[in-house]
Amino acid sequence: MTRKYFGTDGVRGRVGQAPITPDFVMRLGYAAGKALFDRATMPAGERPAVLIGKDTRLSGYMLESALEAGFSAAGVDVCLVGPLPTPAVAYLTRALRLQAGIVISASHNPYYDNGIKFFSARGTKLPDDVELAIEAGIDEPMSCVAPAELGRAKRIDDAPGRYIEFCKSTFPNDLDLRGLKIVVDCAHGAAYHIAPAVFHELGAEVVSIGAQPNGRNINDGVGATAPKALREAVLANRADLGVALDGDADRLQMVDADGNLYDGDQLLYAIVRSRAKLGPVGGVVGTLMTNLALERALGELGIPFARAAVGDRYVVEMLAEKGWLYGGENSGHILALDRHTTGDGVVAALQVLAALREAGGTLGQLLGGLALYPQKLINVPLTRGFPWRDDPGIAAALAAVEARLGAAGRVLLRASGTEPLLRVMVEGEDVTAVEAAAEELASAVRAAVQ
């Protein structure tokens, strides 16, 4: 299905360059408002309403105002919550019975990028037909409803507190975190005033890092995409564990007391293995990037596994299709649909901590010996629209590498859904062979796009 503006996770780009400009975002808000208004069934005299949250990027102020203007012009009311994690917007949209939730964030990207992503009234990503309806309206002339029908805006001041209580409710009532010292890295992002409070209120001693946003330091050397800062802080503070979120707090990485890093595949396994002790687990959905070791470890537990396209929205879609509850990506998006409708870094961390409290021991012991296969990922800059699938040089290099690895490895080439990059991934049992194969493929791609 071809989209002009929407990628795998909303609309994203560099601020000041199309499409992340004030005029486009206002038209996006207007088009979204019209699409939602047409679908809303409201009592007489009432208007649809949406929730708008954002992360800590400086550009969030500008884009928030543009979105608010577009929705108001379409006759849609707006509830503003300020900086708040992406999964918090999903939760509050559902809890407040609103028509949609909108997040202004570029997730793990640098501060000079930003984006707009949407949630449905149920706290899930918008269906394809709604996204396509919004796209169709963006390039149409923008007008305005009658003055008496313009949307109003109000601020929800207790939104952080509501979300903190929701997060705590996903942790077992008979457990607590007393006696644990936890370093929480908020990536100078949307969870800076949320995550430390959640773990503290459950009894942990909390050391916060990456919790002083200034509009330009989001994801800068901290957070789930730069876990070195967390490892150093855990060791320096002699903490029991470390939790790293990304800029909008929907990704998770964790570190144990010895500084060992655990990614999304390992943390998902810890959660599922714990759930399996309580009853049957229908199955788990990963992505094309999920480590082969996780698939095989789940097989040993008798738990089915399926791969979706890369992107948490596709994991959610496959979970819904199969009627399963658990899934995720190695990047740290972890879905536990028995706790939340979308990937949530704080909630996922609480599920791992609950499993750890119930089982005792260390995080490494909780994984039951799961050892990930070496995996090498290289991002190669790619001109948008370049036909890499049809390039003979890339095809020849791919065939050679696959033949050499055989059953002992796996290769994946895919274009990023959010950046002009071709992701080259090689995975296998031998780290030397994996790294050599990845470099060989990346070199072939670079030669083709020159």
Q: Which residues are catalytic?
A: 107
Return the structure tokens found at 368. Answer: 């039951």
Taking the C-alpha atoms of residue 376 and residue 394, their distance in angstroms, rounded to an integer, is: 18
* DSSP codes of every residue in 343-403: --HHHHHHHHHHHHHHH-S-HHHHTTT--PPPEEEEEEE--TT--GGG-HHHHHHHHHHHH
Burial class (CB in 10 A: 0-12, 13-18, 19+), 383: exposed
Pairing of strands 241-245, 252-256: antiparallel
DSSP 291-308: -HHHHHHHHHTT--EEEE
Sequence-distant (≥ 6) Cβ neighbours of residue 448 within 8 angstroms: 386, 388, 391, 393, 394
Cβ proximity of 224 and 246 under 8 Å:
yes
Name the amino acid, one letter, at 167: C
SS3 414: strand
Do strands 421-428 and 375-381 pair parallel, antiparallel, or not at all (unpaired)?
antiparallel
